[in-house]
Structure 1
Amino acid sequence: MVIGPNGTGKNLDEFVKHGAKRGQIEIELAADPERHDSNPVITTKTDKGDTGNASEYLINGKKANKKRVQELAQSFSIQVDNLCQFLPQDKVVEFAALSPVELLSSTQRAAAPQQMSDWYEQLKEWRK
């Protein structure tokens, strides 16, 4: 799920302006100087073609795959797959349907450092 200029969409190409063949998104992440030398810049270029859509990912101007971009985002505690962090209108129903355990887990992932989720998983193991 991506959030496009008109709300939400299922494909990255929905960011491309109507009538255009190509779109580009660039995001600079504010880095903690203790963990990163500089602010990384993520660029996504999307071609909207007749035979399908193609996306190209870059980190600081160098080609990267989608997995590497996701890993970088995760290192900044950005979780694009977590409904607690990104709640487009059409996901409200899905969010409301989460069980209390799923809600706790999603909230921890959104609001707490990774260590909190690790501790929670460890507590669940100890209980078994």
Structure 2
Amino acid sequence: SGKRKAAEPQEPKKRVRGVRNDEDDDAERGGGIQPSAGNFRPYISKIRCINFLVYEDATLEPGPGLNLLVGPNGSGKTTWADAILIGLGASPKFVGRGDVEGSFVRRDQQTGSVEITIRIPGSDVTIRRELTSGQRGGLFFMNGVRKTNREIDQFVTSHSIVLENLCNFLLQEKVKDFGTLAGEPPKLLRHLEAAVGPPGMLDDHDNLIALAARKNDCEREHRAKQEQLAHLKAQRDSMQEEIARLDQLVAIQESIRLLELKIPMLKVRELKTELAEVAGELRPAEEQLQAAEADTHRLRGAHAALRDE
């Protein structure tokens, strides 16, 4: 039939600690513990390829988190990555296989398609891209409704699905580009955060960068102010002697001011002393004057008596 089927197991599957088993995936998809809506990251829950490259009709059902696809060279592992990229709108040039989308149609077939089911909070969304051999573009459908390329791009972008992120999709043709990216650790970190980090992690990263820059600015400003303070302290120490002289001069000026205030009081005291001395000299003169007036009065009386005789 041309279909690729997994080989039948030769013995019962063993559950190994630390390794996911099919039963784990089935339990998780069948109603096991789901992440809360606030921390939920959309993930691809189903990929179906019809007449796509090496597959006639094949389905892969990944689970959330890390999925490993193991097989020998040429077994079609890379085809699943190609299917994700083409199914979500990547160009053939980016994938690195041909120039038109129709080149991904299986040989000897006229049409092919890729269906990508994405699990988002509350529902599953299935995007189907129908391809025609040898032709560009293709028709997009979302849950059976015809959509434009732009609408698909908007949906993919709105759910933080970055097809160009090499930490999301690393094809063999892009290993060299990834090597270049690995040579720039800050850029690689941002790609890795966008691929596996929780929602808002890139914004938090940008905020940390801004805070670190602000911290550096504050530290530089602090160092500058410390240097300025040290310079001012040195100036203060060099001016201590001058300050002491100025303090002494101020004290002398204050003493002079107080002494000048005492001068009028001293003058008043001197005048009082002089007045007391003058008063002491005036009293004998007054007594002499009184005695002279008494003698004059007596003499006038005697003179008047002589005239009467």
Return the match for 2:179 from 69, 87, 96. Answer: 96
Which is further off, 60-69 or 102-111?
60-69
For residue 65 of structure 1, what is the aligned residue in structure 2?
Answer: 148
- Per the TM alignment, residue 92 of structure 1 is displaced from its structure 2 partner at its CA by 1.2
Residues 48 and 54 of structure 1 are in contact (CA less than 8 Å); yes or no, is this contact kept in structure 2? Answer: no
Normalising to structure 1: TM-score of the pair? 0.77
CA–CA separation in structure 2 for the residues paired with 1:70 and 1:113: 21
Give 3-state SS (helix, strand or coil) of 2:170's partner: coil
CA RMSD of aligned residues (A): 2.4
CA–CA separation in structure 1 for the residues paired with 2:124 and 2:194: 23
How many pairs does the alignment contain? Answer: 119
CA–CA separation in structure 1 for the residues paired with 2:169 and 2:101: 16
- Per the TM alignment, residue 94 of structure 1 is displaced from its structure 2 partner at its CA by 0.7
Return the match for 1:87 from 167, 170, 178. Answer: 170
Change over 3 Å in CA distance of 1:57–1:89 after alignment to 2: same
CA–CA separation in structure 2 for the residues paired with 1:54 and 1:68: 14
Residues 101 and 137 of structure 2 are in contact (CA less than 8 Å); yes or no, is this contact kept in structure 1? Answer: no
More strand by share: 1
Give 3-state SS (helix, strand or coil) of 2:82's partner: strand
- Per the TM alignment, residue 75 of structure 1 is displaced from its structure 2 partner at its CA by 4.2
Return the match for 1:46 from 108, 119, 131. Answer: 131
CA–CA separation in structure 2 for the residues paired with 1:93 and 1:75: 29
For residue 206 of structure 2, what is the aligned residue in structure 1?
Answer: 121
For residue 9 of structure 1, what is the aligned residue in structure 2?
Answer: 97
Amino acid across the alignment from 1:97: T
Change over 3 Å in CA distance of 1:95–1:22 after alignment to 2: same
- Per the TM alignment, residue 109 of structure 1 is displaced from its structure 2 partner at its CA by 0.5
Change over 3 Å in CA distance of 1:66–1:113 after alignment to 2: farther
Change over 3 Å in CA distance of 1:65–1:124 after alignment to 2: farther
For residue 23 of structure 1, what is the aligned residue in structure 2?
Answer: 112
CA–CA separation in structure 1 for the residues paired with 2:172 and 2:150: 26
- Per the TM alignment, residue 110 of structure 1 is displaced from its structure 2 partner at its CA by 0.4
- Per the TM alignment, residue 46 of structure 1 is displaced from its structure 2 partner at its CA by 1.3
Detail structure 1 runs of 4+ shifted over 6 Å in the superposition: none
CA–CA separation in structure 1 for the residues paired with 2:103 and 2:187: 30
- Per the TM alignment, residue 26 of structure 1 is displaced from its structure 2 partner at its CA by 1.1
The higher-RCO structure (CA 8 Å, 6+ apart) is: 1
- Per the TM alignment, residue 27 of structure 1 is displaced from its structure 2 partner at its CA by 1.6
- Per the TM alignment, residue 85 of structure 1 is displaced from its structure 2 partner at its CA by 0.8
- Per the TM alignment, residue 24 of structure 1 is displaced from its structure 2 partner at its CA by 1.1
Normalising to structure 2: TM-score of the pair? 0.35
Amino acid across the alignment from 1:105: R
Residues 119 and 125 of structure 2 are in contact (CA less than 8 Å); yes or no, is this contact kept in structure 1? Answer: yes
